[in-house]
Structure 1
Amino acid sequence: MTRLNVIGVHLYLQREDGRILLGRRHPGVAFAGDHFHFLAGHLETEGAKAGLIREAEEEAGLAIAPKDIELVHTVHMLDERADSDGQPRLGLIFRARTWTGTPEIREPDKCMEWTWADPHRLPTPMVTYTKVAIEAIGRGERYTELGWN
């Protein structure tokens, strides 16, 4: 059976002190309630950079220029748990070199707080693939597969 991949864009935003931006998801969301995760979203009918820029503005009030975005990691995952939809997913993780604005809660039904976390002491609970990606980025790795046999 053919299943199309869902494509998500994720923001790896890192301050000069090395801390990265993570959001704590609302407990009522369908995926990973009350877990820490990247600022992220699914692509609509748009390019990946445009989708990331849109999500950053919608979710946190941040402005990012396309020229300041670079792809730093890709996660290709398949979640076959009983409570999962089993949809294969491709996560594109982009670093923004510069941005304007201070993260604010713009979608309180999805994200309860933004925090700047030390990538070597991540908060818990953390979305598994977010943690895996942060660790891989720290090692300079560009690609991870999860859940494929």
Structure 2
Amino acid sequence: MKIVKEYSSGGVIFRKVDNKNKEVLLIRVRKNGFELPKGHIEQGESESQAAIRECKEEVGIINDLVLGDKVGEIAYSFISENKTIQKKVSYYSITFSGVFNYIKPKNTREIIWISERELETIELVNEELRSIIAKCLL
């Protein structure tokens, strides 16, 4: 079976609720489980540029986004069309200014904000995301 390597980038969009607490934005694209917005890095695009673009596309964000530090990576593989896809995804912390403004895209089923407490129990598409999200909630 042919092996194909793919690279994606995404963001942990977070906001301050008050002086002590933050929330992180999650999306649900698949039937089950929430995830962070992410997608393929296009030719000539850096990881960080892709993270900003994909967050805008998958959430429908109208606000200007501010890129922060790289907060983690996950790697996984799956089979598609008789190929093994080995995927690596890099995630960056991302903030925005002003009141959050978006128009939900058709392919995104749901957009939610979660607190650190909610992170413990929410169903994620990949358990490795939990520690990456937690870094932005501290």
Amino-acid identity (%): 18
Post-superposition shift, 1:135? 2.3
Q: Judge conservation of contact 1:58–1:106 (CA < 8 Å) in 2.
A: no
Relative to structure 1, the CA distance from residue 103 to residue 126 in structure 2 (aligned partners, 3 Å threshold; closer, same or farther) is: farther
In the alignment, which residue of structure 2 is the partner of 1:36? 34
For this pair of structures, how many residues does the alignment match?
A: 127
Relative to structure 1, the CA distance from residue 33 to residue 73 in structure 2 (aligned partners, 3 Å threshold; closer, same or farther) is: same
Find 1:18's aligned residue among 19, 22, 28: 22
In the alignment, which residue of structure 2 is the partner of 1:132? 128
Post-superposition shift, 1:139? 6.9
In the alignment, which residue of structure 2 is the partner of 1:3? 3
1:24-76 CA distance string (max 9 Å, x none)? 21xxxxxx3343111111111111111112122223224224xx321110112
Instruction: Compute the TM-score of the two structures, normalised by the length of structure 2.
Output: 0.73
Q: Distance in 2 between matches of 1:136 and 1:51?
A: 18
Structure 1 runs, 4 residues or longer, greater than 6 Å off: none
Q: Distance in 2 between matches of 1:136 and 1:112?
A: 22
* 1:102 matched to 2:106: no
Q: Distance in 2 between matches of 1:49 and 1:136?
A: 16
Structure 1 or 2: more strand by fraction: 2
* DSSP 3-state at the match of 1:55: helix
In the alignment, which residue of structure 1 is the partner of 2:110? 113
* DSSP 3-state at the match of 2:71: strand
Relative to structure 1, the CA distance from residue 102 to residue 139 in structure 2 (aligned partners, 3 Å threshold; closer, same or farther) is: closer
The runs of 5 or more residues in structure 1 that have no matched partner are 26-31, 141-149
Q: Distance in 1 between matches of 2:41 and 2:50?
A: 6
Say which is worse superposed, 5-14 or 33-42, in terms of deviation: 33-42
1:66-122 CA distance string (max 9 Å, x none)? xx3211101121236x899530000101102x32362524421x1022110124423
* DSSP 3-state at the match of 2:22: coil
The runs of 5 or more residues in structure 2 that have no matched partner are none
Relative to structure 1, the CA distance from residue 38 to residue 139 in structure 2 (aligned partners, 3 Å threshold; closer, same or farther) is: closer
